[in-house]
Structure 1
Amino acid sequence: MRRTIIQLICCLLLISVLSSGCIATEKEPVEREYANDVIYQTSTISALLEGMYEGDLTMGELKEHGDLGLGTFNDLDGEMVLLDGIAYQVKADGIAYKAENSMKTPFAAVTKFESDINETIWQEMNNTELTAYMATLMPSRNLMYAIKIEGNFSYMKTRSVPAQQKPYPRLADVTKEQPTFEFDNVSGTIVGFWLPEYVENVNIPGYHLHFIDSNGSAGGHVLEYTIRSGDVHIDVTDGFFMQCPATEGFLNVDLSGERIEEITQVER
């Protein structure tokens, strides 16, 4: 009888606490301004540096995860620019071609772009000045940012890389002889990302940007530019998902060690 009374008292106390909200029966979701923003990536920059130029993800599959981004294609055959859901392949001749959904990528990063920060540029800036200005717009150096710059450029310098054959050379060796392209008075769009230092070996810390002109006919990996006027759009991102390729090369390559010097070299 005594045990029954004690059990009844405990039950009444528990009901009282639950009804007062002191104990939650279900965890309330935390609302964050950027909670649904995710960068989707296949493979790692360190694998690409090691010459892992074969992936198993198709462009059609990649575009399910984003409509803006960048990367490359199997055999390192050119620079990828993904803009408004359209994928371009800027080959070693500097010409941009529409990428087929069946084409595969060994490395790419994309996101479903939804701009959070929008600024108009009215004065001429070179790439050093504009990237420094964009850094002042970012609320934290620990978040990730997708970037789209639509503008009129008085100067644009890009590069691409030619398709490679097995045995694949290291990326740093390929970029030593990369073809570069210069454009004067060109309009188009820069797409890419700014990522924090802690992504080293997974992706490229800092800015990684690709360009496609307004006709979708030329572009490449951005090296230098001067913008005359345009609009800067920044998507603040707090989520990151990486898919590892199931290729033999990726499964067996040694990805240990730091590669920041190599990353700096191939980004120049």
Structure 2
Amino acid sequence: MKYYFTLQNICLSLFLFLFFSGCSKEEVQGTNEQIVVQISTIDALLQGVFDGETTLNKLTSSGDFGIGTFNSLDGEMLFYNGTFYQIKGDGKIYKPAGDTKTPFSTITYFAPEVNYNLNSFSYEELKNTIDTLIASPNLFYAIRLQGNFNYVKTRSVPAQQKPYPPLVEVTANQPEFEIQSVSGTLCGYYCPPFVTGINVPGYHLHFISEDETFGGHVLEFELDEGTLDLDQITNFKLILPGEGEFLNTDLNADLSGDLEEVEGS
């Protein structure tokens, strides 16, 4: 049997190949094949490794949702709906340039499976409720809570100068911010216990107000009413720096006490 190829057939074949290749990429970014992508480790950050290699532009290839910080520890990061927000130590919110780098961040494509309405909830009540909703404490969950809040308390961190101090020294004198009667979005993650030293076990959440004038690392809140979305993720990818202070940092020590102080402060 003979086969005859025309330019039209070749073009059609190429179109179909590119089309279905694009569909496959969408499936990888979808719920079934989602990945939590993390830059560096929390223990490195705790020890003052505040400079990284990864730019925000590069992060966008790994997701549209996440939290973290910026080089020199210049504020808290919130990555929401594909937009990066930088809550600096002055309490103001900025939109950083794409070539800005991050020493620590956690990113994914947000595709929630669970939707739940909440009323009159505190931070602790939120944690307890999520504990009952998740399939297992051994998996990763991306968390989004949108609603009206009676009260929110956050903190951020000012940019540091070299030689960088340990993170626990920075947060001992961190700026804290409070607001009442605000609408906004809380974003972050639940990470399983076995990530100790790599990420923050348990809950790590950041907040941004609807008018983009208030935000930061969440310390406390009182929710009036809102909607909770949870995204279960079973794949985890860790990207380590290939140069800089990370290579010379001793990561053998147990820093869980410092982390507890940092997260609770």
Q: Shorter-chain TM-score category?
A: 0.7 to 0.9
Give the structure 2 partner of residue 9 of structure 1. Answer: none
Give the structure 2 partner of residue 209 of structure 1. Answer: 205
Which of 243, 250, 259 aligns to 1:247? It is 243
Equivalent residues of 1:97, 1:217 under 8 A apart: no
Runs of 4+ in 1 over 2 A off after TM superposition: none
Which TM-score applies when normalising by structure 1?
Answer: 0.86
Which of 161, 165, 168 aligns to 2:164? It is 168
Larger displacement relative to structure 2 (63-72 or 200-209): 63-72
Rounded Cα–Cα distance in structure 1 between residues aligned with 2:236 and 2:256: 20
Give the structure 1 partner of residue 175 of structure 2. Answer: 179
In the alignment, structure 1 residue 58 sits paired with structure 2 residue 51: no
Give the structure 2 partner of residue 93 of structure 1. Answer: 90
Equivalent residues of 1:151, 1:228 under 8 A apart: yes
The Cα offsets for residues 146-185 of structure 1, whole Å up to 9 and x where unpaired, read as 0010011000000000000000000000000000000100
Equivalent residues of 1:54, 1:247 under 8 A apart: no
1:77 alignment partner AA: D
Give the structure 2 partner of residue 144 of structure 1. Answer: 140
TM-aligned CA deviation for residue 34 of structure 1: 5.5
Alignment of 1:27-38 (within 5 A): 35-38=32-35
Give the structure 1 partner of residue 102 of structure 2. Answer: 105
- Corresponding residue SS for 2:172: helix
Rounded Cα–Cα distance in structure 1 between residues aligned with 2:203 and 2:120: 20
Equivalent residues of 2:31, 2:111 under 8 A apart: no
Equivalent residues of 2:147, 2:223 under 8 A apart: yes
Larger Rg belongs to = 1
Rounded Cα–Cα distance in structure 2 between residues aligned with 1:143 and 1:134: 13
Rounded Cα–Cα distance in structure 1 between residues aligned with 2:58 and 2:190: 24
Q: Structure 1: 5+ residue runs without aligned partners?
A: 1-32
Equivalent residues of 2:142, 2:232 under 8 A apart: yes
Rounded Cα–Cα distance in structure 2 between residues aligned with 1:240 and 1:144: 8
Equivalent residues of 1:90, 1:219 under 8 A apart: yes
The Cα offsets for residues 15-41 of structure 1, whole Å up to 9 and x where unpaired, read as xxxxxxxxxxxxxxxxxx954121000
72 and 55 in structure 1: CA distance in 2 versus 1, 3 angstrom threshold:
same
Query: What fraction of aligned residue pairs are identical, expressed as a percent?
Result: 45
The Cα offsets for residues 59-97 of structure 1, whole Å up to 9 and x where unpaired, read as 010121011110000000000000000000000011110
TM-aligned CA deviation for residue 247 of structure 1: 2.6
Q: How many residues align?
A: 235
Rounded Cα–Cα distance in structure 2 between residues aligned with 1:181 and 1:100: 25
Q: Structure 2: 5+ residue runs without aligned partners?
A: 1-29
